[in-house]
Structure 1
Amino acid sequence: MLDAAVNLEGFLDHVPSPTGEPGPLLPVAEEGTRKPLLLFGTDGYWNPRYARSWSAMLESGCRTTHRQIDGATHWVFTDFAQQAPQLQTAGLMTAADRNQLIGPIEPAAARPAVHDQVAAFFARHLRG
């Protein structure tokens, strides 16, 4: 059983139909949850599916918190946050490609931004 969860810019709905109709929301987005949930996003990533499902979750009145990293995009939640700047320095990635992948955030800021928010959330909500 989960006592708390973190969603790193994940969708809370089913894949849209081939005609483009939105897929149904997952039960957690429709009904909410009694457990603490952190919706953790970036200012550089936005998608109608993401907006729709996260809005439903935040409006459900359940124990949902939203946090955001500024100057970042979706892949900052992965090892790319550390690797992309190194690839750019080595001439294997352009600055534009790096910004599209992780945003202009520096690795020295990206890793603690993710780690500190997730660690603080779990420290507040998990029994130790």
Structure 2
Amino acid sequence: MRDPLLLIVATIIVTALSISAVVHNGKAEDTMPTKSNNASNTDTITNDQPQSHPYLGMWVTGDGRIRQELLPTGRYDEARGTRRSAYQGRYRVTGTHIDYWDDTGFTADGTFVDSDTLHHGGMIFYREKT
């Protein structure tokens, strides 16, 4: 009789630990994994957290095939060739490091080597000049 009860309790605990939302100030927020090796391997950010950093705007590969816009809402929109919005998701800039969390579930990161150059995913992006 105790085994079924134990199984139910264990299932509830596992389910509670796997939920990917937290409540902060009465509002549900998504959690996102970080690449750190800290004991806590999650970080919290809302979907539309305003970003304030010098890297906002459009970033383009040298051949113009890939265009990635870093929006002030903390979202990015990446076009590939003629395919608009091929990838979309959230990002966070910390210093010269950028972490991406794509809406489809994959993660990536990159480094701004200077104010006009981004190394990301084995590619080099340049700030689009207006």
Shorter-chain TM range is under 0.3
- For normalisation by structure 1, the TM-score amounts to 0.19
Larger radius of gyration, structure 1 or 2? Answer: 2
Instruction: Choose between structure 1 and 2: higher strand proportion.
Output: 2
